[in-house]
């Protein structure tokens, strides 16, 4: 581990400070643009790192990753468009706070919760890389199945008062996830000989269609949002507010730590689960979905924690747990650095640069946020007739960027209609998004497990991680159903009294 003098040397003799700030700013900008995911933002900067010193290059990529994970929350709060998949859960209460004229407060909470999550993740990365890295290797297909089911278990509490409608939406989401190539046999399903469908429908298209386009369509012709933001200033949470948010941030950090170590989710599962758990443990669960500060803090702490902890299996074993860490792996290999225990011994300066660069980026996030966020709030407070066109153009430009495909634009527009009809019929959209995000993981891991066990279902009971995750999922479902029944009874009693 780096000594104090190593850190001083890094700060004074190398351009790590500027590298961190540039990486962070670039990452926030990329993450804030719909369609430009954290991995694309990193991939765009990758060629520029070729001529850089390896330590600075990898630190730059790590800082871009941190910035992009945070940046995704900005459009989620301001225009109901998650900039990255993992910021989808932030939309629920973040956008609601914006509608109430509290955008500055929501962005401040998201910023500080992101900083808390990132610092926690970095501490875990520095202190626990070795002891925690075993978990990444212990994951079998059966464990992944357990993880997917655990993610799906939150559907019950995200159904907005109608479990049947929530389950319908989740089933349709799972159906969407089956479009494309079958994970086991390679046979194409529901592609109708359209080449653009062979790779499946990207979750971001579903999110943009169901969240952003639906919102734009629903607001069409209205005078303006529920309440315009009177001030464009960022309101950082006070000490007392941070004290109120500590429970939800803690939940986000723990779930983010867990998911960062487990390949596949990319922060989405942690964000949705932490939202669900924050509501369960909150003193004001009724505020969730109506503009709860904790509803912003928990998912933001979670997905920012993942940005750091996802580097644990990458640096220890070279296992990329998400697309973004795969780009980081590409950066390491491009500079002749082989991840693994020897990386820590032979290229200590690279590791130190990642730690120091990440720390600078996390702290600088507050300053950069305070500078750029007021401009973002100002932009979304422009008159509706101009704002709608600008947001629509931004969304369509971002979607096209994904695969340079006009077909993707058509899919997103079609899903906009679906989302609008769902809104009219009062169907919740979140279960559908969860279905799309987790469908592939659940199906492929279930079938792989059975292939490996020769069709023996006991494989799910013999894997301790799978057993733990499936049991947890069962507990979550029972608690959620009990709460739904209790709330429904309360509502009936209230109705009877009135």
Partner 1 sequence: MNKDLLSGAALLAVAGTYYTWSTQIADSTLSDEIGADGLPKVLSVLLAILAACLIGRALLAVRLHAVAATTGKADEEEEDENAPLPRALGFLLFGAAYVFLLPFVGYIVATALLIGGIALYEGAQRRSWIVPAAAIGGAVFYWAIFVKLLGVNQPMGSIFQGLF
Binding range to partner 1, per CB under 8 A, among 71-79, 169-177, 305-313, 481-489: 169-177
**Which residues 214-273 are close enough to bind partner 1 by CB under 8 A?**
216-222
Nearer CB in complex with partner 1: 233/447: 447
Give the shortest CB-61-to-partner 1 separation in angstroms. 16
- Which residues partner with 189 through β-bridges? 180
Q: Does 33 bind partner 1 (CB under 8 A)?
A: yes
Q: Does 450 bind partner 1 (CB under 8 A)?
A: yes
In this structure, how many other beta carbons lie within 10 angstroms of the beta carbon of residue 364? 20
Candidates 3, 12, 185, 498; binder of partner 1 (CB under 8 A) is 185
Candidates 161, 199, 367, 389; binder of partner 1 (CB under 8 A) is 389
Q: Are the CB atoms for 405 and 243 separated by under 8 Å?
A: no
In angstroms, the CA 19 to CA 284 distance is 42
Q: Does 379 bind partner 1 (CB under 8 A)?
A: no
Nearer CB in complex with partner 1: 79/356: 79
Q: Does 476 bind partner 1 (CB under 8 A)?
A: no
Binding range to partner 1, per CB under 8 A, among 7-15, 137-145, 269-277, 393-401: 393-401
Candidates 397, 465, 467, 483; binder of partner 1 (CB under 8 A) is 397
Nearer CB in complex with partner 1: 186/336: 186
Candidates 19, 21, 36, 59; binder of partner 1 (CB under 8 A) is 36
Give the torsion sign (CA, 87, 278, 308, 21): positive
In angstroms, the CA 375 to CA 491 distance is 42
Candidates 186, 240, 283, 496; binder of partner 1 (CB under 8 A) is 186
Q: Are the CB atoms for 27 and 41 separated by under 8 Å?
A: yes
Binding range to partner 1, per CB under 8 A, among 59-67, 130-138, 175-183, 251-259: 175-183
Residues sharing a CB contact under 8 Å with residue 186, sequence separation 6 or more, in sequence order: none
Give the shortest CB-105-to-partner 1 separation in angstroms. 23
DSSP letters spanning 257-321: HHHHHSTT-TTHHHHHHHHHHHHHH-S-GGGTTS--HHHHHHHHHHHHHHHHHTHHHHHHH----
In angstroms, the CA 171 to CA 175 distance is 6
Q: Does 164 bind partner 1 (CB under 8 A)?
A: yes
Q: Are the CB atoms for 155 and 476 separated by under 8 Å?
A: no
Q: Does 453 bind partner 1 (CB under 8 A)?
A: no
Q: Does 50 bind partner 1 (CB under 8 A)?
A: no
- What are the phi and psi torsion angles at 383 (to 5°)? -50, 140
In angstroms, the CA 298 to CA 295 distance is 6
475: phi > 0 → left, psi -120 to 50 → alpha, else beta; which?
alpha
Give the shortest CB-145-to-partner 1 separation in angstroms. 13
Give the shortest CB-208-to-partner 1 separation in angstroms. 11
Nearer CB in complex with partner 1: 26/275: 26
DSSP letters spanning 142-191: HHHHHHHHHHHGGGGGGSTT-HHHHHHHHHHHHHHHTSEE-TTT--EES-
Binding range to partner 1, per CB under 8 A, among 17-25, 132-140, 286-294, 425-433: 425-433
Cα angle, residue 416 at apex, residues 180 and 98 outer, rounded to 5°: 120
Q: Does 161 bind partner 1 (CB under 8 A)?
A: no
Q: Does 498 bind partner 1 (CB under 8 A)?
A: no
Footprint on this chain of partner 1 (rule: CB under 8 A)? 30, 33, 36, 44, 164-165, 167-168, 171-172, 174-175, 178, 182, 184-190, 213, 216-222, 383-386, 388-390, 392-394, 396-397, 400-401, 404, 406, 409-410, 413, 416-417, 420-421, 423-427, 443, 446-447, 450-451, 455
């Amino acid at each position: 581990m780096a000594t104090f003098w190593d850190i001083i040397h890094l700060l004074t003799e190398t351009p790590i400070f500027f590298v961190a700030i540039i990486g962070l700013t670039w990452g926030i900008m990329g993450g804030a643009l719909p369609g430009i995911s954290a991995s694309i933002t990193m991939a765009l900067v990758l060629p520029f790192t070729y001529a850089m010193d390896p330590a600075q290059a990898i630190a730059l990529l790590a800082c871009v990753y941190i910035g992009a994970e945070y940046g995704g929350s900005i459009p989620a709060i301001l225009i109901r468009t998650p900039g990255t998949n993992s910021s989808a859960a932030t939309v629920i209460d973040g956008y609601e706070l914006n509608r109430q004229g509290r955008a500055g407060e929501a962005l401040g909470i998201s910023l500080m919760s992101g900083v808390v999550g990132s610092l926690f993740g970095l501490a875990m990365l520095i202190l626990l890389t070795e002891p925690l890295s075993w978990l990444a290797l212990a994951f079998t297909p059966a464990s992944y199945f357990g993880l997917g089911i655990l993610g799906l278990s939150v559907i019950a509490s995200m159904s907005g008062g109608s479990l049947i409608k929530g389950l319908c939406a989740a089933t349709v989401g799972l159906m969407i996830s089956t479009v494309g190539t079958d994970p086991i046999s390679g046979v194409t399903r529901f592609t109708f000989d359209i080449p653009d469908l062979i790779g499946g429908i990207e979750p971001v298209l579903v999110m943009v269609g169901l969240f952003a386009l639906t919102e734009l369509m629903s607001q069409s012709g209205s005078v303006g949002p529920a309440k315009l933001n009177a001030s464009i200033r960022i309101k950082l949470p006070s000490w007392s507010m941070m004290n109120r948010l500590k429970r939800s941030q803690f939940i986000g950090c723990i779930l983010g730590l867990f998911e960062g170590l487990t390949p596949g989710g990319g922060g989405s599962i942690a964000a949705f689960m932490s939202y669900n758990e924050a509501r369960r443990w909150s003193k004001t669960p009724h505020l969730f979905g109506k503009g709860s500060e904790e509803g912003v803090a928990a998912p933001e702490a979670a997905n920012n924690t993942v940005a750091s902890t996802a580097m644990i299996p990458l640096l220890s074993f070279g296992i990329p747990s998400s697309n973004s860490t795969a780009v980081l792996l590409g950066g390491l290999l491009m500079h002749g650095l082989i991840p693994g225990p020897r990386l820590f011994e032979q290229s200590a300066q690279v590791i130190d640069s990642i730690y120091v660069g990440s720390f600078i980026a996390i702290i600088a996030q507050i300053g950069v946020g305070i500078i750029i966020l007021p401009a973002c709030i100002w932009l979304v407070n422009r008159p509706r007739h101009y704002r709608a066109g600008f947001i629509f153009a931004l969304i369509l430009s971002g979607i096209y960027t994904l695969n340079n495909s006009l077909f993707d634009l058509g899919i997103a527009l079609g899903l906009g209609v679906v989302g609008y009809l769902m809104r009219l019929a009062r169907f919740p959209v979140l279960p559908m998004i969860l279905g799309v995000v987790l469908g592939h993981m659940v199906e492929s891991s279930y079938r792989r497990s059975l292939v490996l066990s020769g069709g023996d279902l006991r494989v799910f009971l013999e894997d301790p991680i799978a057993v733990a995750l499936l049991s947890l999922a069962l507990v979550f479902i029972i608690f959620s159903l009990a709460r739904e029944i209790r709330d429904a009874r309360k509502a009936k009693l209230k109705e009877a009294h009135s």
